[in-house]
Amino acid sequence: MMFDNDLQPSFKMEGYYVWCGSVIRGEDGRYHMFASRWKREHTFHPGWSTHSEVVRAVADTPSGPFEFQEVVLPARGPEYWDGCATHCPQIVKRGNQYLLFYIGTSYAVEVTDENRQDMGTISRASKRIGMAVADSLCGPWKRPEAPAITAKPGTFYSYFVSNPAPVIEPDGSILVLFKARKYLDQSCKFSNFYIGAARAADPESPFEVISPEPLFGPDTPNGVIEDPFLWIDRDGLYHMLAKDMLGTIAGSEADGMEFVSENGVDWKFRQIAYTRGTLALRERPFILFDENKEPVALYTATAEIFPYRNPAAHTWNSVCLYKK
């Protein structure tokens, strides 16, 4: 196993749910976490898809504690594709430029106690993947007027695209794995999770979905996973950390698994990377690497009570330092 269960809280905020931590070391020598937060009054679900916002927090060490600095991607109105909520940030650096991948939702319906659960379906149907760009981790961030990756009728990603996992390839191109669902019929029923892949030559080029068939999913040999995190080692081998959705691969639901690939598309299971332990939920894995591409710390979104069903649950981002 790559990481043990010696978890420490790294970022939490009073009055907010906190989720989705992605960390990078800045030119200032400090560690910058891009995370999701939303007020507890909106409930965990569907609050993450109706009221989440991407924020930045900073710490002097990888273990934190991280202190809130600013809202990076605030709501900007339903006329924008990402105007109502931003969520699931993933930060990467390409040359001297920072690329912040995230998901956005938009809707023109007021969320009330009466329609709150219906809004989960409505807002998720608008989920698309965006890429904001900046020359500094402190911004300003240029937000896209259109999604970088969007849903497409008649495909395994016809309902939504979500949870981007980017990596910069040796030639400078950008590979992104993404979670998706498809509509099953005219009754608006939808599938379990699929994982697809898209690539762009550079930040100015469009992303193209690589294969019409999903890499993972309910009707594939690889099974159902979510929350991929990607990296390429010093030998050019692709690695992915992901959550076992159903416990059919790692043996326990919500455990973390490592997969390897020669090309970023054809994946093989390697090992269990971490376990959920006694926690109700552990999601959104992200590994911080040093300048030698050695792992430093694993960050995961954490809850002791299952938050999707219990609004009393508290959530935060945890850190587990790598032990050789």
Q: Which of 103, 128, 105, 125 is CA-nearest to residue 34?
A: 103
Instruction: Report, as an integer, the average pLDDT of 120-133.
Output: 92
C-alpha span between 88 and 96 (Å, rounded): 23
Contact 161, 180 (CB under 8 A): yes
- What residues are paired with 8 via a beta bridge? 319
Q: What is the per-residue pLDDT for 278?
A: 87
Contact 168, 201 (CB under 8 A): no
For the stretch 204-263, pLDDT in tens is 999 999 999 999 999 888 889 999 999 999 999 999 999 998 888 877 888 899 999 999
Looking at the predicted structure, is the pLDDT value of residue 2 above 80?
A: no
For the stretch 50-94, pLDDT in tens is 999 999 999 999 999 999 999 999 999 999 999 999 999 999 999
Maximum Cα interatomic distance, the chain, rounded to a whole number of Å:
54
Q: Give 99 or 188, the one with higher predicted confidence.
A: 99
Q: What is the per-residue pLDDT for 189?
A: 84
C-alpha span between 37 and 186 (Å, rounded): 34
Looking at the predicted structure, is the pLDDT value of residue 37 above 70?
A: yes
Per-residue tokens: 285: 């894995």
pLDDT category at 1 given cuts 50, 70, 90 is low
Terminal-residue alpha carbon distance, the chain: 11
Rounded to two decimals, the pTM is 0.96
C-alpha span between 276 and 310 (Å, rounded): 18
Q: Give 199 or 119, the one with higher predicted confidence.
A: 199
Domains in the chain, ordered, with CATH? 8-321 (2.115.10.20)
Q: Starting from the edge strand earliest in sequence, which strands make up the sheet with 128-134, in order?
A: 85-94, 97-105, 128-134
C-alpha span between 297 and 48 (Å, rounded): 25
C-alpha span between 172 and 206 (Å, rounded): 14
Residue type, 150: T
To the nearest 10°, the Cα dihedral for 43, 48, 50, 55?
120
Contact 140, 98 (CB under 8 A): no
For the stretch 260-293, pLDDT in tens is 999 999 999 999 999 888 899 999 999 999 998 9
φ, ψ for residue 308, nearest 5 deg: -65, -25
pLDDT category at 201 given cuts 50, 70, 90 is very high
Looking at the predicted structure, is the pLDDT value of residue 188 above 80?
A: no
CA angle, corner 135, sides to 49 and 38, nearest 5? Answer: 20
Contact 71, 36 (CB under 8 A): no
Contact 222, 235 (CB under 8 A): no
